[in-house]
């Protein structure tokens, strides 16, 4: 079994700031660094670090070969990453002293993927495989449609959130992952309670409050308490949660255990500064000995 992840690849430009910028404000950063990121790349690296097979479906520009090489080093199958003429996507990430962030993304090559690229990438996928996607590339509906037609389990981490995008793909989804604000926005946009949405498994991350899993088939609604940690940087923690969750499911874990694994990895991630380059692996999770 494998995870096919249609997802963004960015150069992440980090700026540590005393506080997040207000409109019209100019501020000097106290630290700066650069790394591999993009919600898609972060999730692929997390899946690989959680010991599952992952094939990344994505695009970079001629300036992005370093990113592909780094993903390969981290254990990601990069054969379905194409090179296009548009520049590689990038993100400007401000992080304040509380570990909160504000992120500006330039999609670049992430928006250059075509239907043919997706079709080629999924050629060898079977119903035993999982299809994961987020909201930072082109061709999400095409990807989800093709994956669903192949009988793959379709998982959408609906970030950055756009209610219309979620509504469009909702009938194709097996699992939907959102945060609490996004879940409320989706309820507002659909006029439906989460439990009435046509997706079997809905996972809502609640930050310091933990996480909630609704199974709309049997009507169950389970809460998972948060693991207490002192965050230094929350960037990429949600991506790490999703990657470990999906890897756990791919390796046959029941949903509750996969969620718990994701929470443990995310708890480590918020204590680290950076994104794909600092995602923990299974050994880090085991060594942390949470609960």
Task: Give the interface with ligand RIB as residue ranges (CB under 6 A).
Answer: 8, 10, 12, 37-39, 42, 91, 103, 105, 136, 235-236, 239, 275
CB of 1 or CB of 103, closer to ligand RIB: 103
DSSP for 83-115, please give it. Answer: E-SSPPEEEEEEE-TTS-EEEEEE-GGGG---H
Given a contact cutoff of 8 angstroms between Cβ atoms, the answer to whether 178 and 186 are in contact is: yes
Residue 201 vs 239, nearer CB to ligand RIB: 239
Rounded least distance, CB 105 to ligand RIB, Å: 5
Return the half-sphere exposure (C-beta side, CA atoms, 13 A cut-off) of residue 49: 31
Nearer to ligand RIB, 88 or 146 (CB): 88
Residue nearest to ligand RIB (CB): 37
Least distance between ligand RIB and beta carbon 258 (Å): 20
* Rounded-to-integer distance, Cα 221 and Cα 268, Å: 26
Instruction: Select 42 or 78, whichever has its Cβ closest to ligand RIB.
Output: 42
Query: Do the Cβ atoms of 204 and 178 come closer than 8 Å?
Result: yes
Inter-residue contact 268 to 280 (CB < 8 Å): yes
Nearest approach, Cβ of residue 239 and ligand RIB (Å): 5
Q: CA-CA distance, 200 to 282, in Å (whole number)?
A: 28
Least distance in Å: CB of 40 to ligand RIB?
Answer: 8
147 sits in which H/E element: helix 140-149
- Provide the minimum distance between the beta carbon of 84 and ligand RIB in the complex, in angstroms, as a whole number: 18
| 180 Cβ contact partners less than 8 Å away, ≥ 6 residues apart | 204, 205, 206, 207, 209
CB of 200 to ligand RIB, least distance (A): 25
Kindly state the DSSP code that residue 77 receives in the 8-state scheme: B
Q: Which residue, 137 or 146, has its beta carbon nearer to ligand RIB? A: 137
Closer Cβ to ligand RIB, 1 or 92, answer by number: 92
Output the CA angle 90-93-97, nearest 5 degrees: 165
Q: Identify the DSSP state of 79.
A: T
Whole-number Å distance between alpha carbons of 35 and 278: 9
Cα 266 from Cα 256, distance rounded (Å): 15
Q: How far is the CB of 151 from ligand RIB (least distance, A)?
A: 29
147 vs 266, beta carbon nearer ligand RIB: 266
Number of helical H runs and strand E runs in the chain: 9, 13
| CB of 39 or CB of 56, closer to ligand RIB | 39
- CB 38 → ligand RIB: shortest distance, Å? 4
């Amino acid at each position: 079994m494998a995870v096919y992840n249609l997802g963004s690849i960015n150069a992440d430009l980090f700026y540590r700031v005393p506080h997040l910028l207000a409109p019209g404000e100019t501020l000097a950063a106290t630290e700066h660094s650069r790394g591999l990121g993009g919600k898609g790349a972060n999730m692929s690296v997390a899946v690989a670090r959680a010991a599952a097979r992952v094939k990344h479906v994505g695009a970079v520009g001629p300036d992005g070969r370093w990113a592909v090489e780094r993903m390969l080093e981290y254990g990601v199958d990069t054969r379905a990453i194409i090179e296009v003429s548009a520049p590689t996507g990038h993100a400007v990430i401000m992080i304040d002293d509380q570990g909160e962030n504000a992120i500006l993304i330039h999609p670049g090559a992430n928006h250059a993927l075509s239907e043919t690229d997706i079709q080629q990438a999924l050629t060898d996928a079977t119903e035993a495989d999982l299809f994961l996607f987020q909201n930072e590339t082109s061709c999400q509906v095409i990807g989800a449609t093709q994956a669903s037609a192949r009988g793959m389990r379709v998982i959408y981490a609906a970030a950055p959130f756009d209610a219309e995008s979620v509504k469009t793909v909702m009938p194709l989804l097996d699992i939907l992952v959102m945060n609490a604000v996004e879940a409320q926005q989706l309820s507002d946009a659909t006029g439906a309670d989460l439990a009435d949405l046509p997706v079997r498994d809905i996972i809502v991350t609640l930050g310091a409050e933990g996480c909630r899993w609704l199974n709309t088939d049997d009507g169950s609604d389970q809460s998972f308490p948060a693991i207490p940690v002192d965050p230094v940087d929350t960037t990429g923690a949600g991506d790490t949660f999703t990657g470990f969750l999906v890897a756990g499911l791919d390796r046959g874990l029941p949903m509750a255990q996969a969620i718990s694994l994701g929470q443990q990895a995310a708890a480590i991630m918020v204590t680290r500064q950076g994104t794909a380059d600092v995602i923990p692996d299974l050994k880090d999770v085991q060594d942390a000995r949470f609960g």
